[in-house]
Amino acid sequence: MRINWYNRMLLSYAPIFFVVISSLIFVFFTTLNSSSQNKYIETNEAIFQQMVQYTDANLQLIERNVVREIYKNKTLQSFFDDTPKTVYEYYFIQEKLNEFASSFPFLNSMYLYSETTQQILTGSGKFPLEAFADASFFLEAYEEPGLKGWSTPREYRESVLDQNKKVISLIKYYPYAFGKEGAVVINVDVKSIMAFLNNLDNNGHNVIQILDENKQPFQTIIEPISTKPIYATSKYTGWSFYFDSVYADEFSILSLLSNIWIILGIFIIVLAIVWFTIITHINYKPIQTIMGKIDDYTARKSDELGIKSPRNELKFIESAIDHFLKKTVDYDTLHKEDMLLRKRNLFNELLIGHKTITESEWERQMASFGLSHSYERLGVVVFEIDHYAQFTERYSSSDQYLLKYIIQTAFQELTQEKELLIWHTWIQPQQMSVVFHFHSNHEPYQDTLQQICEEYRKWINTNLELTLSAGIGRETGSIGQIAESYRNASENVSYKAVFGTNSLIDNRLKGTKANGEKFNWFQTLLEMAHFYRLDDEQWVGKFNHIFTEIQQMLLSKADIENFVNNLAHQLQKEINTLSPEIQALWRDEYQEQFFKIANRTETMNEMNEQVLTVMIKLAKEIEHERISRKNHSIAVQVKAYIDRNYADSNLSLNQVSDLFGVSPKSISNLFKEELGEKFFDYLVKVRFDHATQLLQETDEPIQFIAEKVGYVHVISFHRAFKKMFDLPPGEYRNLHRFHHE
């Protein structure tokens, strides 16, 4: 016969109830004393654990405050530089040191060490390192490859006249985490720690002791009173804490068994049985309803699957609740991650301009993120990590993430001090975009942005081994126009190519440079590449001319990359006319160097220095290869002969071949192979170089100029000139003289 749920409940729990109650009656008096003692011990253990936690918290507070002061206290930081200081300046630093040390929970002392000056500064005086009484401990700890935290108890004194006292010490390098220019040493008196623990002990009859990592006591161990001492180990310091608890007299004696307790126990048993039956009767119906639904569901599923499922309702309920809780936790986690993703996507889309929203929608979105929406004006600043390629090579992914976190957190703290509301996002890996919410008390807005960015830039330069450039956009009065301000800020930060890295660039600074489109460097670049191929030193002057003009222009990183790529392209075209050995040299060694310069160079000065270095090196190798060739000297002599005798109208290939004793065909091939130009083309070029110079700088008749450069008939000169320049000589003179003047 099947037992219903009500009977199952009643029969299942009733025996347990009787066994428990019966057991309690028989063991009550025998266990009460032990239970009382255990409760007392547990209470003491909880109090003792709290005492240990308080001790750790105070020591951690000291360590955090020291690290913070290393970062922020300019007075203490001034001790570590090599600037000469007056007695008053050292006194002021000592005052700050004593004031800072007095804020710590325990009785303590501090001193500073500067590696530059080899000086120790304490709260009472300044000592050379070799004369400092604590020098032996400090030097050993300072040279350790990694500082470990609080030391074991040791004897300490500042000078030979002082008495020794037992302290624990903590050493922190300066600057924290990024260098080793000195150190800060904190010494905490062991007696003050023990006094602190004893003050927390309200009983006053307990023995408290601390053992270091080597199980050595901080003080002389007192003989234990209790047979069950309490131990606790600090996760922060690794010390073991010893607590000798004394039991109270009131817990050692209990009353004996009495008839009153027996009658009271029987009454409780009867009352419990009645209560259990009534409650079970009241609550069995909703439970039976739930179980009926479970039975129907399991029966239906069993029929569908063709199996007979075992009847285990409690297991089914447990599984359902576990599944529900898991789904709830997953939903909460997904909701938080989704909110962060939605916030980042919204900020990115607003700044890039992919989305525009109304003020009411902006208020609703910010409220959903738990952020304030109010503003009178909005401003955008784009911070870019300088030399980001070197940054990614120098640091691992985790270090990059940590440094970026420090960058954004430091800026948030700075703006909080200024009572400014901001939100930020990393639209690009190397760029952090920050939006400011301005109110009337922040006017003028541009000056406020400039001041904050300058203060932040100085903090980055002081505390991190990297630099940031910042582009400041124009402020706007609407969230719908924030993309325009962001584009302006991004454009401004790209002009660090002209103004240099570690710069703050706004529209006022940008206005000091001319528009880069006004300078056409392409023609000069062609001439420079041509002179470079001919090994003519004029190429250096052309390059310097281009760079001088570019420095006055407003150009971005993309403009630098475009210029270097064009330069490499023109050089390749010229080098392709030279010998196969030089072409192979270009392909194997130098072409990739230009591409690297284009991709990694961020400023004009870097570009000029690196490109000029590579080109000079390549020119030397080309020259060396040319000189090593057998017939190069003949080609050079022919070229020099043309340069000297270009005005001779009888100058021809036959004349030169007779002069040098080489056939005309050999002269022609040699000249083309060595210098990359045909004999006749080079002769025409030299003649017209001088002709154009005379047309621009003199008023001589064209007939005279034609004869001056080797043309007997002015008509031939006129025809050849127009073919090369697409202009007659007269028009060329008028056009270029006008521009020259």
**CA atoms of 683 and 686, how far apart (whole Å):** 5
**CA atoms of 117 and 127, how far apart (whole Å):** 11
Task: Confirm whether 666 is domain-assigned.
Answer: yes
DSSP H/E element including 506: none
> CA nearest 706: which of 730, 738, 727?
730
Whether residue 709 is predicted with pLDDT greater than 60 in this model: the reply is yes
Residues 714 and 729 in one domain: yes
DSSP three-state, residue 201: coil
- 207 versus 658: the higher-pLDDT residue is 658
Whether residue 641 is predicted with pLDDT greater than 70 in this model: the reply is yes
**CA atoms of 189 and 552, how far apart (whole Å):** 65
Predicted pLDDT at 33: 55
Q: On the CB side of 335, how many CA atoms lie within 13 Å of its CA?
A: 8
Report the CATH number at residue 140. Answer: 3.30.450.20
Predicted pLDDT at 262: 59
Mean pLDDT of 11-30: 60
What proportion of the chain, given as a percentage, has pLDDT over 90? 1
pLDDT in tens, 79-131: 888 788 888 888 888 888 888 888 888 777 888 888 888 888 888 888 888 88
Sheet holding 230-233, edge to edge: 207-211, 240-244, 230-233
Helices (H), 576-603: 580-585, 591-600
Whether residue 18 is predicted with pLDDT greater than 70 in this model: the reply is no
Amino acid at 661: G
The sign of the torsion formed by the CA atoms of 77, 83, 84, 86 equals: negative
Residue 351's φ and ψ, nearest 5 degrees, are: -70, -40
Whether residue 335 is predicted with pLDDT greater than 70 in this model: the reply is no
Residues 601 and 711 in one domain: no
Residue 684 backbone class (left: φ over 0; alpha: ψ -120 to 50; beta: rest): alpha
Residues 624 and 637 in one domain: no
Whether residue 740 is predicted with pLDDT greater than 50 in this model: the reply is no
Predicted pLDDT at 116: 84
- 181 versus 206: the higher-pLDDT residue is 181
- Say if CB 707 and CB 677 are below 8 A apart: no
pLDDT in tens, 492-522: 888 888 888 888 888 888 778 766 554 566 7
DSSP state of 256: P
Task: Confirm whether 219 is domain-assigned.
Answer: no
Task: Confirm whether 268 is domain-assigned.
Answer: no
Whether residue 223 is predicted with pLDDT greater than 70 in this model: the reply is no
Structure tokens at 525: 């670049």
What proportion of the chain, given as a percentage, has pLDDT over 70? 77
> CA nearest 435: which of 427, 424, 446, 444?
424
Helices (H), 232-312: 259-305
Task: Confirm whether 281 is domain-assigned.
Answer: no
Helices then strands, each counted (H, E), the chain: 27, 16
Report the CATH number at residue 709. Answer: 1.10.10.60
Residue 689's φ and ψ, nearest 5 degrees, are: -60, -45
Residue 396 backbone class (left: φ over 0; alpha: ψ -120 to 50; beta: rest): beta
Average per-residue pLDDT in the chain? 78
Predicted pLDDT at 250: 43
Residues 473 and 532 in one domain: no
Pairing of strands 504-505, 468-472: parallel
510, 528, 551 - which closes a domain: 510
> CA nearest 28: which of 17, 39, 20?
20
DSSP state of 370: T
**CA atoms of 112 and 108, how far apart (whole Å):** 14
447, 475, 510 - which closes a domain: 510
Confidence at 391, pLDDT banded by 50, 70, 90: confident
Whether residue 206 is predicted with pLDDT greater than 70 in this model: the reply is no
Task: Confirm whether 81 is domain-assigned.
Answer: yes
| Cα dist from 662 to 494, 634, 649, 658, whole Å | 58, 10, 21, 7
Task: Confirm whether 30 is domain-assigned.
Answer: no
Mean pLDDT of 381-404: 88
Confidence at 649, pLDDT banded by 50, 70, 90: confident
462, 488, 510 - which closes a domain: 510
Name the domain count of the chain: 4
Task: Confirm whether 147 is domain-assigned.
Answer: yes
pLDDT in tens, 21-74: 665 665 565 555 556 666 766 777 777 777 788 888 888 888 888 888 877 888
Name the residue with tokens 């889309």: 349
Counting every residue written for the chain, the total comes to 741
Confidence at 381, pLDDT banded by 50, 70, 90: very high
Residues 553 and 658 in one domain: no
DSSP three-state, residue 240: strand
Structure tokens at 64: 């955090």
Cβ-Cβ contacts under 8 Å for 289 (sequence gap 6 or more): none
Name the residue with tokens 């870019």: 384
> CA nearest 555: which of 602, 597, 596, 613?
602
pLDDT in tens, 248-275: 444 444 444 445 655 666 777 777 777 7
Mean pLDDT of 337-346: 75
**108 is in which domain, residue-wise?**
56-188
Mean pLDDT of 472-499: 86
